[in-house]
Structure 1
Amino acid sequence: MLLPLFHVSVLSLYAYSLWYDQQYLDLPFPAKGYEEMPFKARLMFLTMWCLILQSVYFFLSLMNDFFGSNEPFPRKRPIIRLVKDTVFSLAFALAVYVGSSFWSIYHFDKELIFPEKIERIFPRWLNHSMHTFIVLFILIELFATNKNYPPRKVGVAIATTFFLSYLIWMHILYERTGAWAYPIFKVLNLPARIAFFAVSILGGLTLYILGEKLNGLVCRPPRPSPKKQKKR
């Protein structure tokens, strides 16, 4: 019973965070072109992509609690469990990447990632919901539930496609509006940006493999009994 309660609590927080952002927050846009975009142009931020993905994951987890299976290694995984486990592999890497990169840049120079003019109107609880709690909750999920990661080639391909999709989207926005979503890219020249993007993707994939390794420690496959080994 505790697991569904945890999942519905996290999902409720994320849903409220998304609703509050759309209802009450009016952030300054980097350029006029962003004003015409739906969802208050929030999809220019990787943070918002991450929060939506976390919401989808915890919704799938809640559905799996009632209609799937939380066994460590079920003989036949229900579809909802298969989808949930695959989404987790990406959700973990993205949550840890967003949280660690945001707070690292924030403490180095917050004007590059979270300017004072935005921080003044941005509720502190919402900032932590988007950049702190996402890491805390996905770590709790990692150690509290059983998951079967997809084959590494599949998982890495999904993660790489996701990160590249965001980078392409960010450049499309820049070409259309003439302004970067994040202030940090204003101070980076082309070689520095390329290096930043390459390190970011490599870091995201490293976090993916870290999640896979940690999950392997938490959810170990059962050892074959001595009798079965002798028969072989």
Structure 2
Amino acid sequence: MTEVKITVGESYGKKRSISLYLRLIFHVIASGVFHSVLMYGGYLWMQLLQREDVTEPAIVTAKLFTPCYLTNWNFLFQTIFLTMSLVYDLMEWFDRHETGLGRKLRFCRDVMFSGLVVPLTLFISTMFWTLFWIDRELVFPVVYDQLVPWWFNHCVHTNIAIVILIETVLQARRHPTHYKLELWLTGGAGVLYAIVYYSIFFFAHRWLYAVFGIMTWWQVCLYQILIWTSTFVFYYIQFPINRIFHREEVEDQKQVIQEQKSGIQNGGFTEQTNDSVLKHRSKNQIESSSF
């Protein structure tokens, strides 16, 4: 019975080590790719700003308002998130993740992921490709192909969703880290972005996205409600989806935590083996020995 209980603790430890190893590899690669794409995007914009021969309205809009696109905001958020994740993985690798700095970094990482990265990424990928297949001129005019390579478009509109999927598989986030703060981030980003593109329309007399230009004002209002509603839907669905991938892992975590709280050390191993001690074991300890 004792040997089996040791195996349970060791099994969880091995799972945790493999998970850390996979997360570290993923975050090294993803962080490197995202930083490279971000720098290349900045280079493209600098090149565009230097051009004086731009007359196409869509390109002029991109030239003047590149920092105002939600796609670029989200890509920056993802880059920051991946950087924080990589730093935290390294701290965990060197067993420094339970320090004050490590706990704060983990909190910021998880809140940012749940409150900003997930809802904005899923909204952007879903809405962009839906409108793109209906009529690409509504979100990404053909003339943009002169400026943006096809692979760059997929980096900022497709790969971002793949990162979310892989992150969900590798990291358990079954519940909100800070529910109110995450909701404020989700709602605040939506409201702030609405202020940005409506302000551009009223002051510069142009829409960031052509899809708004084909709508009447009541349609714009309905579309705006759809935008805000969808981001909150994406926020809420991430947790049940995460529980699908991490149900077994979290049950293992609960068992280890329960053993720690009950004073059992070394993965459930107890040096005292006389009959009087065995008789006083709790029901939970006896049940755990049967696994």
Structure 1 residue runs without a partner (length 5+): none
* Correspondent of 1:171 among 192, 198, 219: 198
Sort the Cα spacing of 1:48 and 1:29 in 2 relative to 1 into closer, same or farther, 3 A.
farther
2:120 is aligned with 1:100: no
SS at match of 1:24: helix
Aligned equivalents of 1:205 and 1:227: distance in 2? 43
Does the CA contact (< 8 Å) of 1:33 and 1:176 recur in 2?
no
Shift of 1:155: 1.9
1:58 paired to 2:115: no
User: Equivalent residue for 2:66?
Assistant: 42
Aligned partners of 1:55, 1:209: CA distance in 2, in Å? 22
Task: Give distance in 2, aligned partners of 1:145 and 1:85.
Answer: 10
Q: What is the RMSD computed on CA atoms of the aligned residues? A: 2.8
Alignment of 1:120-139 (within 5 A): 120-139=146-165
Partner of 2:34: 14
Aligned pair in 2 of structure 1 residues 196, 5: CA closer, same or farther (>3 Å)?
same
Deviation readout 1:137-156 (Å, 9 max, x if unpaired) = 11100111133522433322
Partner of 1:24: 44
| Letter aligned with residue 155 of structure 1 | E
Q: Does 1:83 align with 2:83?
A: no
Asked whether the equivalents of residues 84 and 105 of structure 2 are also in contact (C-alpha less than 8 Å), the reply is yes
Q: Deviations over 1:73-114 (max 9, x none)?
A: x8x971110111101102111111111110000001111011
Residue 45 of structure 1 deviates from its aligned partner by: 1.0
The CA deviation at 1:210 is 0.8
Q: Please show how residues 178-189 of structure 1 align to structure 2 within 5 Å.
A: 178-189=205-216
The correspondence for 1:190, drawn from 217, 222, 234, is 217
Matched to 1:123, the amino acid is P
Distance 2:61 2:41 in 1: 20
CA distance in 1 between counterparts of 2:154 and 2:192 reads 25
Q: Which has the higher contact order (CA 8 A, sep 6+)?
A: 2
Name the aligned partner's letter for residue 14 of structure 1. Answer: F
Specify the structure having the higher radius of gyration (Cα).
2
Amino acid in structure 1 at the alignment position of 2:106: R
Unaligned runs of 5+ in 2: 1-20, 49-53, 259-281, 286-291
Q: Percent of counterpart pairs with the same letter?
A: 22
SS at match of 1:125: helix
Give the C-alpha shift of residue 121 in structure 1. Answer: 3.0
Report the CA distance shift for 1:193/1:78 in structure 2 as closer, same or farther (over 3 A).
same
2:278 aligned partner: none
Distance 2:184 2:245 in 1: 24
Given that residues 68 and 78 in structure 1 are in contact (C-alpha distance below 8 angstroms), is that contact kept between their aligned partners in structure 2?
no
- The answer to whether structure 1 residue 150 and structure 2 residue 170 are counterparts is no
